[in-house]
C-alpha cells in the first residue's frame, strides 16, 4: 500500500510498474496510472463486413503514416474500420486518438513520446514520427492482447487503462540480428519477425546475408552469387532435413532475396521505424561467394580447407585474396548494389574468424604483407578493413564490423560490434562507436533452459532442440549491462547500445527461430530502452506473462521456459541392450494435423540412448516414420540429432496415437530420460 500511495502522489517518479498494472515492455521511464478506462471501437462489428469505429484517429502530416499503420492493425484485430483524419490542432479531442508532433517536449529526442489516455480521448505527442510510433506501441500494449490478433477477435472489451507516460529510450541502437544464411527465411517470415521487433520498440535489424554456407541477396552485376552460392545439397550442421522448410524441387536447399524482395522488406521495416543493417562478409566466411567466383580466392580453392563445396557439413573458411585489385573491385561492386537497396547509415562487413592460413600460403598476399612491412595477418586484415571503411565513408555511409577488425590496430571511420566482449573499452576510448553483442550473454540462439555445466557455459541436458553450445538463460540476458564497467564515464556515449544475434546453424524453421528468440528478445529490448536503475527482474517476469499472450495472438511460437508435454519416459529396466521397439501413447498431446515432434532427452545414468528411427501410428497403423540415427547423453545434445519430425496429414477425433521408436542403450542400459513432445520445429 505504501508503494502504491507513493506512485500516486509522485506520478513522475521513475518506479517500476505495478505487477497488477499495465504490463508494458520495455518498461517506460515514467508512468502514472490514473482512474478510469478508455473504450475503443464501441460499435460491435457485423460478421462479413467491418463496422465503422466510433473512435477516430486524428493525425498531423508527420504522423499520417503512423495513423495508417494503427488503423490497419486495428481493422485486422477488432473488425472495426477506423477513420484517419488530418487535424492541425494539438489538444485532446473527445472520442479520438490524436497523433501529433506539435508542442512536443524537445528533450524527448527523436524517439521519445508522451502518451495520455483519458476516459474520453488519447493523445500521443512526440517531437518526431518515430516517437509517435513508439507511443502507439505502448497504447497497443495497454489494450487487451487480442488487439495483436491476426484476425478479428470476438467478445473482447477493447479498453485501455487511463495513464500518463513520458518515455524515451536509453540507447539509440536497439537491435536483433537474423542469420538468413544457414537457414533461409522467406519474405513473409522476415516481415513477421520485424513486427515482433516493433512491438518491443527495437529499431535496428542486422541482417546477415552471406557466409560460407550461402549467399542470400541478388547482385545483378554478379549473378552467379545467387545462381550458385544460394543453394547447397543439404542443411549442413547435422540438422534433421525433415525439419527444414526451404527445399527446392531439385533437392537443393536454400534460397535468396531478389532486389524487389529486399526493397519490399526495407519499406516494411521503415514503416515500423526499423533500420536494416545488411552484412556482407569479407574477407573471411566467403566460401559461397568463392564457389561462384573462384578467381577472387587465394590462387585456388584447395589451398587451405577446401575444396569449397557447399555440400560439406562444416565450415570451410573461404577467404578472399585481398591482394588482387580485381577482388577489391568485385567487393565494391557488390557493396554498391547493396547500398542501393539499404538506405540506412551502416554497412556491416563482418570481418570475424578469418582463416589466415589462406593468406600465409598465397604468394600475392605474402608480397602484400611484405610491402606493408608486417608479418602480422591481423595487421594485414586491419589494412584491408581501413581501405573499405574509407571507401564506404566516401559513399556517405559508415562501416561496421565484428570485434576482429580492430585486432591489428585502430580502424577509423568505422563502428565495431563486440561479440568477443574484449574490444569495446579500447575502441570506445579511441572515440569509435561500439555495439555490444557479447556471445556469452546475448547470443539468443543458444539454450535458454537446461542443466548447465559447472562453468556455466556448457549444458548437460536440455529440453530444447539442438543448439550452439552455450547456456544463455533469460535472467542473464535481462541482467546484461551494455556499458562496460571499465569504460571511463567520458566515453560511455560511444556505446550505441546492444543487440541479440541469432545464428541459425541449428535452426531449421521459423517455428524453431521463434522458440529461440522469444521471450529473450523482450529482455534485450528492456536492456536497451529502460534505464538500468529502473529494471526489476520480478516485475519484468510478471509483465512478461502478458507479453507472451501478445506473442500467442501474433502467431509467435515463444519458448514457455518450461518443459514441453511428455510423450513418455525410459528407465534402466526399460532400456534394451540391443535395438528393439518402445512405444508410448501420445493421444492426449495430439490435437490436430501437422507436425508431431518427438525429442529424446537423457536425464541420468551412466549410459546414453541410441535411436534408429521414430514413427507415428494412428490406431496401430503407421502414418509416418523419421529414419535417422540419434543419440542422447550427458553433454551430447548438439550434433547427435535426438529429435524426430513426424507428420500427421489428417487428424481423426477419437483415434489413438502412438509414438514408437527403435532404441538401445549406448554402452550399457543404465539410462534414464524423457521423451518430449516439443513445439519448436
Question: What CA–CA distances, in Å, run from 66 to 53, 144, 160, 266, 270?
Answer: 18, 20, 19, 16, 11
> Is 285 assigned a catalytic role?
yes
Compute the distance between CA of residue 195 and CA of residue 186 in angstroms, rounded to an integer. Answer: 14
Question: What CA–CA distances, in Å, run from 578 to 542, 620, 665?
Answer: 48, 23, 7
CB–CB of 519/548 below 8 Å? yes
C-alpha cell at 152: 478479428
CB–CB of 113/132 below 8 Å? yes
Please give the DSSP secondary-structure letter assigned to residue 217: B
Q: Which of 183, 206, 208, 285 is catalytic?
A: 285
Bridge partners of 597? 645
User: In degrees rounded to 5, what are phi and psi of residue 142?
Assistant: -75, -25
The SS3 assignment for 86 reads: strand
> Is 353 assigned a catalytic role?
yes
Other CB atoms within 10 A of residue 4 CB: 12
CB–CB of 19/542 below 8 Å? yes
Compute the distance between CA of residue 227 and CA of residue 205 in angstroms, rounded to an integer. Answer: 26
CB–CB of 446/470 below 8 Å? yes
> Is 628 assigned a catalytic role?
no
Residues near 459 by Cβ (< 8 Å), separated by ≥ 6?
447, 450, 451, 452, 453, 469, 470, 471, 635, 637
CA torsion, ordered 663, 666, 671, 676, to nearest 10 deg:
-40
Please give the DSSP secondary-structure letter assigned to residue 182: T
Helical H runs in 395-519? 424-429, 439-442, 474-479, 510-517
User: In degrees rounded to 5, what are phi and psi of residue 96?
Assistant: -140, 155
Q: Which of 146, 211, 539, 618 is catalytic?
A: 211
Strands 495-502 and 173-179, sheet pairing: parallel
SS (H, E, C) 518-587: CCHHHHHHHHHHCCHHHCCHHHHHHHHHHHHHHHHHCCCCCCCCCCCCEEEEECHHHCCCCCEEEEEECH
Q: Which of 120, 260, 353, 622 is catalytic?
A: 353
Catalytic residues: 211, 285, 353
Amino acid at each position: 500500500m505504501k508503494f502504491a500511495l507513493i506512485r500516486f502522489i509522485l506520478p513522475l517518479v521513475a518506479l517500476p510498474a505495478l505487477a497488477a498494472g499495465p504490463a508494458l515492455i520495455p518498461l517506460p521511464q515514467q508512468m502514472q496510472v490514473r482512474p478510469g478506462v478508455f473504450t475503443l471501437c464501441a460499435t460491435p462489428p457485423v460478421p462479413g463486413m467491418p463496422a465503422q469505429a466510433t473512435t477516430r484517429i486524428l493525425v498531423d502530416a508527420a504522423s499520417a503514416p503512423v495513423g495508417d499503420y494503427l488503423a490497419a492493425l486495428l481493422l485486422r484485430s477488432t473488425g472495426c474500420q477506423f477513420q484517419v483524419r488530418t487535424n492541425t490542432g494539438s489538444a485532446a479531442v473527445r472520442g479520438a486518438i490524436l497523433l501529433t508532433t506539435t508542442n512536443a517536449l524537445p528533450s524527448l529526442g527523436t524517439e521519445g513520446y508522451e502518451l495520455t489516455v483519458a476516459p474520453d480521448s488519447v493523445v500521443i505527442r512526440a517531437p518526431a514520427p518515430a516517437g509517435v510510433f513508439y507511443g502507439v506501441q505502448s497504447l497497443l500494449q495497454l489494450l487487451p492482447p487480442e488487439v495483436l490478433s491476426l484476425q478479428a477477435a470476438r467478445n473482447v472489451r477493447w479498453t485501455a487503462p487511463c495513464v500518463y507516460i513520458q518515455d524515451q529510450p536509453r540507447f539509440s541502437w536497439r537491435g536483433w540480428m537474423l542469420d538468413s544464411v544457414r537457414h533461409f527465411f522467406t519474405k513473409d517470415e522476415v516481415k513477421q519477425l520485424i513486427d515482433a521487433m516493433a512491438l518491443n520498440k527495437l529499431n535496428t535489424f542486422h541482417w546477415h546475408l552471406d557466409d560460407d554456407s550461402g549467399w542470400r541477396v541478388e547482385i545483378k552485376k554478379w549473378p552467379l552469387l545467387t545462381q550458385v552460392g544460394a543453394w547447397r545439397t543439404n542443411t549442413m550442421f547435422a540438422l534433421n532435413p525433415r525439419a527444414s522448410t526451404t527445399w527446392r524441387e531439385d533437392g537443393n536447399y536454400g534460397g535468396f532475396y531478389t532486389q524487389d524482395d529486399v526493397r519490399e522488406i526495407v519499406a516494411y521495416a521503415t514503416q515500423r521505424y526499423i533500420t536494416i543493417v545488411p552484412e556482407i562478409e569479407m574477407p573471411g566466411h566467403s566460401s559461397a561467394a568463392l564457389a561462384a567466383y573462384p578467381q577472387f580466392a587465394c590462387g585456388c580453392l584447395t589451398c587451405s580447407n577446401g575444396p569449397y563445396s557447399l555440400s560439406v557439413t562444416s565450415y570451410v573458411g573461404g577467404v578472399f585474396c585481398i591482394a588482387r585489385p580485381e577482388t577489391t573491385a568485385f567487393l565494391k561492386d557488390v557493396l554498391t548494389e547493396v547500398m542501393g537497396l539499404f538506405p540506412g547509415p551502416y554497412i556491416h562487413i563482418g570481418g570475424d574468424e578469418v582463416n589466415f592460413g589462406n593468406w600465409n600460403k598465397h604468394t600475392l598476399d605474402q608480397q602484400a604483407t611484405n610491402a606493408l612491412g608486417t608479418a602480422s595477418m591481423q595487421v594485414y586484415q586491419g589494412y584491408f578493413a581501413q581501405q573499405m571503411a574509407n571507401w564506404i565513408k566516401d559513399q556517405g555511409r559508415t562501416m561496421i564490423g565484428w570485434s576482429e577488425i580492430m585486432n591489428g590496430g585502430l580502424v577509423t571511420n568505422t563502428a565495431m560490434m563486440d561479440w568477443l566482449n574484449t574490444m569495446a573499452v579500447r575502441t570506445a576510448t579511441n572515440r569509435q562507436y561500439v555495439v555490444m553483442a557479447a556471445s556469452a550473454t546475448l547470443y539468443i540462439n543458444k539454450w535458454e533452459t537446461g542443466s548447465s555445466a559447472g562453468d556455466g557455459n556448457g549444458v548437460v541436458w536440455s529440453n530444447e532442440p539442438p543448439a550452439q553450445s552455450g547456456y544463455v538463460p533469460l535472467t542473464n540476458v535481462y541482467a546484461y549491462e551494455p556499458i562496460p564497467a571499465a569504460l571511463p564515464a567520458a566515453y560511455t556515449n560511444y556505446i550505441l547500445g546492444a543487440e541479440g544475434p541469432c545464428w541459425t546453424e541449428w535452426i531449421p524453421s521459423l517455428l524453431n527461430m521463434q522458440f529461440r528468440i522469444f521471450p529473450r528478445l523482450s529482455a534485450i529490448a528492456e536492456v536497451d530502452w529502460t534505464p538500468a536503475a529502473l529494471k526489476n527482474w520480478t516485475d519484468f517476469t510478471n509483465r512478461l506473462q502478458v507479453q507472451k499472450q501478445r506473442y500467442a495472438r501474433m502467431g509467435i511460437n515463444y519458448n514457455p521456459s518450461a518443459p514441453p508435454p511428455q510423450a513418455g519416459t525410459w528407465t534402466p529396466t526399460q532400456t534394451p541392450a540391443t535395438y528393439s521397439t518402445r512405444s508410448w501413447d501420445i493421444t492426449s498431446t495430439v490435437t490436430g494435423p501437422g507436425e508431431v515432434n518427438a525429442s529424446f532427452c537423457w536425464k541420468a545414468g551412466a549410459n546414453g540412448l541410441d535411436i534408429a528411427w521414430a514413427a507415428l501410428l494412428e490406431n496401430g497403423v503407421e502414418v509416418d516414420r523419421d529414419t535417422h540415427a540419434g543419440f542422447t547423453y550427458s553433454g551430447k545434445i548438439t550434433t547427435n540429432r535426438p529429435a524426430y519430425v513426424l507428420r500427421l496429414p489428417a487428424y481423426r477425433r477419437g483415434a489413438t496415437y502412438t509414438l514408437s521408436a527403435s532404441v538401445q542403450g549406448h554402452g550399457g542400459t543404465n539410462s534414464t530420460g524423457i521423451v518430449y513432445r516439443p513445439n519448436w520445429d
